[in-house]
Amino acid sequence: MKRFFVYLKTRPVGMASLIVLILMYIMMIFAEFIAPYNPRTAFPYSYHPPNVRFVNSRLQAQEHRVIDTVAWQYGAVGNSFTPIQFLGKGERTYLWGFIPMERRLFVSSDPQMPVFLMGADILGRCIFSRIVHGSRISMIIGFVAIAISTLIAMLLGGIAGFFGGKLDSIIIRSAEFIILIPGLYLILFIRSMLGVDMSPGQLFMSITLILAFTAWPTGARLYRGMIHSIKREDFVQNAKLEMIPSFVIIFKYCIPHIASIIIVVTVLGIPSMVMTEVILSYLGLGIQDPSVSWGSLINRDITTISNLRNFPWLLSPMWFLIAFAFSFNFLGDALRDYLDPFHTRKTLDFNKFLPKRFRKKVKEVVACEHDASVDAPITGSGAEPLLEVKNLKVKFRLLRGAETLVNQAVRGVSFSLNRGEILGIVGESGSGKSVSTHAIPALLPLNATITGSIKYEGNELVGLTAKEMRKYRGKKIGMIFQEPGRSYDPLYTMSKTFWETYRNSEPKITRAQSDERAARLLEEVGIDNAKERLINYPHQFSGGQLQRVGIALSLAQGCDLLIADEPTTALDVTVQKQIIDLLKDLRKTRGLSIIFISHDIDLVSDISDRMIVMYCGLMMEGASSEQFMTSAIHPYAKDLLAASPKFGNHYTNTPLAVIPGQVADPAYPEPGCPYAPRCSVASEECRATIPVMTAAENGRFYRCIKGAAE
Amino acid sequence: MTNENNVLTITNLRKRFDLEAGFFARFGKFVHAVNGVSFSIGRNETYGLVGESGCGKSTTAKLLVRMFDANEGEIIFRDPVTGENVDVRKIKGQDLRHYREKVRYVFQDPAKSLNPRMTVYEVLTSGARYSTNKRPDSVLRAEAANILEEVGLSAKDLERRPTEFSGGQRQRISIARGLLQKPSVLICDEVVSALDVSIQGQILNLLLELRNARKASGQEISYLFIAHNLRVACYFCDRIGVMYRGEIMEEAEADEIWRQDSGKSHPYTELLFSSMQSGDPNAQTPKVFAGEVKSVRSQTAEKTETGCAFVHRCPYVEDRCFKENPLLKEVKPGHRIRCWLR
């Protein structure tokens, strides 16, 4: 709850809504105190206009006299004012029906000259008092009705979704049947069946139940769908295996999981309930005299257009209704954004326009800002590099509560890639291997800041506009991703997918030309019957074939550099081998340069010429694959090699070396070498500062102060 | 068939899934996920199932805990403590509950299998509350604290929530949850696949230590270890069954299965291991091995495919391979191969 308020501070509209709602509910609770009169107290002034004025630096009620009794025109009397008394004595009443009370928030000091803040109705009753009292029924009906309907929806939706089968069909079909009938007709129909002679209490209850009855089906269908998918989640399956009773699983496992959605749906449902009550009362089927609700106020008073023109203050209940409905909607919006962390909104950065003193503070983790310019860049022996990355840093701005946190995902990376070379980058999750390579074609989310330099054939890529970047993306730099199935539009045939790609660089290419070229490419990457297969959709290809198509697509515009981000992780070993062979072939036939990213050391060493190990946003070691596998220098690289089992190792003969501790959290980096807390040879010195990347002979690089000694 | 030294004996297990269900189903589209799998898990043994995705290894494991019901076959559980034999496919109610406490399933991804809204204590003991062997809360708490310490966490962690832990620690909690009811078999379905290399070793060693500790204290525990990473499986398991399209193609000691000379193991095993072995950087997979796994489908409830399951990718096929499915025959003690040519 506290976190929600912290979050709400960043959403001014949501905050304002919450305040409005709190004020309205205070008004509702203390209605007898806030309203100057009882709702049924009538004065002999029909359609009296609002008479509160600010005169002589205090609020006073001005006297009005009837000019025309037919049209109920009033004229203000020039100098006749009655001062308004705050906390004065008014009519005797009972707060909440049982505490006797005489004081009112404000009353006129002359009982003969009433104060009409928002005018009076045809019977001369104070509209403001009636609105305040009417809010009791209107605002409570929304809450009670939505609570009942949510309960029914959760129960029935939960049962239907969790058990499925016949029960599901019965519940959901009947819910759909109710949804099928237009809501208002259904409400009117049920209401008309109940008859008219009811006490106010009965009326209130019956309307609440009608509203709840007509509202549950939508919720039940929604929750049923969600629970239907949640019941397949592992944690529910696990609970089922433990033979926990089904109702406990539904209400302790499934429902809490969708609680955020239920809260939002419920909050957004309250105003619609109140609105429906208003409609009913307006039609004379809802709350009736002598009880008051906002709906019945509108019913009673706005009978003709001429009434509205002459007595516009009769509309006052509407303003309350609108404020109430809007506030709940805005609050619901803020709640949804708060509860759904994946929902990102681009908001105006007000910070920029504020003077420095008032700007929000950005909390930056600078404990280990690394000056990467002193690092030796990891280079190969080639003459002219295709890609040169220098001192690349990527930071993400994250909103945590009300403060912005800066997360350094990449903390200074320098390397180069030669033409026709395959460079492997290995690292565990969170090591920054993907982020640093996605930065090359600037494929990072908006909250990322890239600094440093990325030179492609000598041209700087950092800081290019999106339009300039398009000259490189796809055309010079291709990319393939981890899950090939997700990189395609499922509604496009391969022919169309290729056509779209070709048109990017050659807008005038015909479909026939593109098909021909695509077929040739597909053959090159090893897809049989390439021509016939062009009319197929992505789902008609297997995972391995899709990855081949992905490679073909990235070659379609003739790229020189291919960034392969875990391209085989989702594939089986036998297919992985085929893809690796294909990439090696392409390097030979096309002279392609490849950056190959994976967490699998053996795989990377198999495909690449040189490899780099990353940990916690820093490069730890760079060497040729052979050197690396036989004689790693950095303790992390050594430990990593020792920790992955090899063929021939068996637990009975060779126990597995273990790296203690956990992978460091890149959001809160240690001041020194990121591996120091887990390293067996680390000393105080290691924990103080980040070691510099050092170049050794034979094109080897390492970032360790101990490495040189050994 | 039921040997005294076996905890679980599985005979000719079959499972098919009906692809179409519901009101508009046109009947007659079946996927045969598990086709006559037989193996046994010995006391204090780790049996590994390896194979590519879709080979039916996870389905087999789920059949063992009755997450799905098998269509055919027999699963016999021999309680190592009481020596009773249980026909797993026939039990229900309290017997099933008791069986599921003895044979526990540990999921691949602890981030998904631990309820994020519960504390570790609630996660660990949620099953025990409805157990056949009910204990008061204070006893449960002590047990949970003990088990947490056994898996390398501290008793203080009981009040924290699973989301506050890293991946490796969460997997420890997941294992602790499996161990709380003192099971005889722990089914580890890809338990290290989602972990980083540096954490993977910790979990593997933990499982080995646990087994040794339990053996010493007289509560033997066996593992069914399902993995797609052959290096890990060969390191960790005692015996390994290689599955392909719902059948066990080869079964041997883990130590033996990887080092076979070409021509002595099943062609599929050969393909699997040659895909993993790095070495000669210019080595290419023989083109004959091209192609990918296909699921076994049929229009009727009976499997219509005859012949060997690997026939469409095997470079050594003969006529006979298309006509008749070979039996799993023993070529050496403890080494079985399903192939006409071996």
**Contact at CB, B234 and A650, closer than 8 angstroms:** yes
Cα(A342)–Cα(B128) distance, integer angstroms: 35
**Cα distance between residue B166 and residue A395, in whole Å:** 22
> How many angstroms from the chain centroid is the CA of residue A611?
37
β-sheet with A422-427: strand ranges across: A477-480, A561-565, A593-598, A422-427, A610-615, A618-624, A700-702, A694-696
User: Looking at the partner chain, which of B166, B231, B272 has a beta carbon nearest the beta carbon of A574?
Assistant: B272
- Copy the structure tokens of residue B274: 């040659």
pLDDT at B298 over 80: no
| Gyration radius (Cα) of chain A, Å | 36
Closest-approach residue (CA) in chain A for B294:
A542
Query: With 60 as the cut, is the pLDDT of residue B254 above it?
Result: yes
Taking the CA of residue B324 and the nearest CA in chain A, the distance in Å comes to 25
Distance between start and end Cα atoms, chain B: 25
ipTM value: 0.85
Mean pLDDT, rounded, for A216-237? 90
B278 contacts A573? CB cut-off 8 A: no
Among residues B89, B68, B69, which one has the least CA distance to residue B77? B89
Average pLDDT over residues B143-160: 88
Q: What pLDDT is recorded for position A364?
A: 56
Three-state DSSP at A477 gives strand
Average pLDDT over residues A417-434: 88
The torsion angles phi and psi of A394, rounded to 5 degrees, stand at -125, 125
Over residues A477-499, the pLDDT tens digits come to 999 988 887 888 889 999 999 99
Q: Counting beta carbons within 10 angstroms of the beta carbon of residue A697, is it exposed (0 to 12), middle (13 to 18) or buried (19 or more)?
A: exposed
Helix (H, G, I), strand (E, B) or coil at A618: strand
Half-sphere exposure of A56 (CA within 13 A, CB side): 9
What's the mean pLDDT in B244-265?
Answer: 80
Helix (H) or strand (E) holding A67: strand A58-68
Whether the per-residue pLDDT at A297 is higher than 50: the answer is: yes
Distance CA B168, CA B176 (A): 12
Candidate from B52, B232, B271 with C-beta closest to A645: B232
Residue of A473 and A195 predicted with greater confidence: A473
CB contact (8 A) between residue B166 and residue A572: no
Q: How high does pLDDT run on average in chain A? A: 83
**CB atoms < 10 A from the CB of A359, how many?**
12
From CA A485, how far away is CA A537, in angstroms rounded? 11
Q: What is the pLDDT of residues A647-695, one digit of tens each?
A: 778 888 878 888 888 777 766 777 788 888 888 888 888 888 888 888 8
pLDDT attached to residue A20:
92
Per-residue pLDDT of B304-315, as tens digits, reads: 778 888 888 888
**What contacts A588, CB < 8 A, 6 or more positions away?**
none
- Exposure class string for B279-302: b at 16+ Cβ within 10 A, else e: eeeeeeeeeebebbbeebeeeeee
- Smallest CA-to-CA distance from A483 within A428, A376, A564, A383 is with A564
Q: What is the pLDDT of residue A340?
A: 64
- Min Cα separation B205/chain A (Å): 7
Question: Does A241 contact B53 at a Cβ distance shorter than 8 Å?
Answer: no
pLDDT at A511 over 70: yes
Taking phi first (over 0 means left), then psi (-120 to 50 degrees means alpha), and beta for anything else, what does residue A243 get?
Answer: left
Residue A679 CB partners (closer than 8 Å, separation 6+): A635, A636, A639, A673, A686
DSSP state of A511: H
- pLDDT, one tens digit per residue, over A363-375 is 555 545 676 677 7
Q: How far is A294 from chain B (nearest CA, A)?
A: 41
Supply φ then ψ for residue A473, to 5 degrees: -60, 125
Chain A CB contacts of B278 under 8 Å are 602-603, 605-606
Question: CB-CB: which of B113, B202, B292 is closest to A544?
Answer: B292
Tokens 């020189």 correspond to what residue? A560
More confident residue, B256 or A19: A19
Residues B236, A651: C-beta atoms closer than 8 Å: yes
Q: Which residue of A has its CA nearest to B295?
A: A542
Task: Report CB contact under 8 Å: B67, A581.
Answer: no
What does residue B195 show for φ and ψ, rounded to 5 degrees?
-100, 155
The pLDDT of residue A420 is above 60: yes
In terms of residues, how long is chain A? 710
The pLDDT of residue A347 is 47
The confidence score (pLDDT) of residue A175 equals: 92
Which of A542, A606, A662 faces B278 most closely, judged by CB atoms? Answer: A606
Per residue, the 3-state secondary structure of chain B, as one string, reads CCCCCEEEEEEEEEEEEECCCCCCCCCCCEEEEEEEEEEEEECCCEEEEECCCCCCHHHHHHHHCCCCCCCEEEEEEECCCCCCEEECCCCCCHHHHHHHHHEEEECCCHHHHCCCCCCHHHHHHCCHHHCCCCCCHHHHHHHHHHHHHHCCCCHHHHHCCHHHCCHHHHHHHHHHHHHCCCCCEEEEECCCCCCCHHHHHHHHHHHHHHHHHHHHCCCCCEEEEEECCHHHHHHHCCEEEEEECCEEEEEEEHHHHCCCCCCCCCHHHHHHHHHHCCCCCCCCCCHHHCCCCCCCEECCCCCCCCCCCCCCCCCCCCHHHHHCCCCCEEEECCEEECCCCC
Q: Which residue has the tokens 């449960």?
A: B140
Tell me if B100 and A572 make a contact (CB, 8 A cut-off): no
Report the residue of A568, A640, A647 to disrupt the B interface, i.e. the one with the largest count of B CBs within 10 Å: A647
Considering only residues A217 and B132, tell me which one the structure prediction assigns the higher pLDDT.
A217
Q: In which residue are the tokens 């990325």 written?
A: A454
Pairing of β B103-106 and β B185-189: parallel
Judge contact between B112 and A233, C-beta under 8 A. yes
With contacts defined as CB-CB under 8 Å, which chain A residues touch B200?
Answer: 643-644
Query: Are the C-beta atoms of residues A116 and A127 closer than 8 Å to each other?
Result: yes
Residues contacting residue A232 through CB under 8 Å, at least 6 positions apart: none
CA nearest to B269, candidates B222, B221, B298, B234:
B234
Q: Which chain A residues are within 8 Å of B196, Cβ to Cβ?
A: 428-429, 599, 663
Q: Which of A305-309, A569-573, A621-625, B77-81 has the lowest mean pLDDT?
A: A305-309
**B97 chain-A contacts, CB cut-off 8 A:** 243
Residue A313 has pLDDT above 80, yes or no: no
Percentage with pLDDT > 70 across chain B = 91
Pairwise CA distance, residues B121 & B140, whole Å: 9
* Residues in chain B within 8 Å Cβ distance of A574: 52, 271-272, 275, 285, 289, 292
Q: Beta strand pairing status for B6-18 and B72-78?
A: antiparallel
DSSP β-ladder status, A561-565 and A593-598: parallel
Radius of gyration of chain B (CA): 21
> How far is Cα A252 from Cα B116, in angstroms, rounded to an integer?
11
> pLDDT-derived band of residue B1, with 50, 70 and 90 as boundaries?
very low
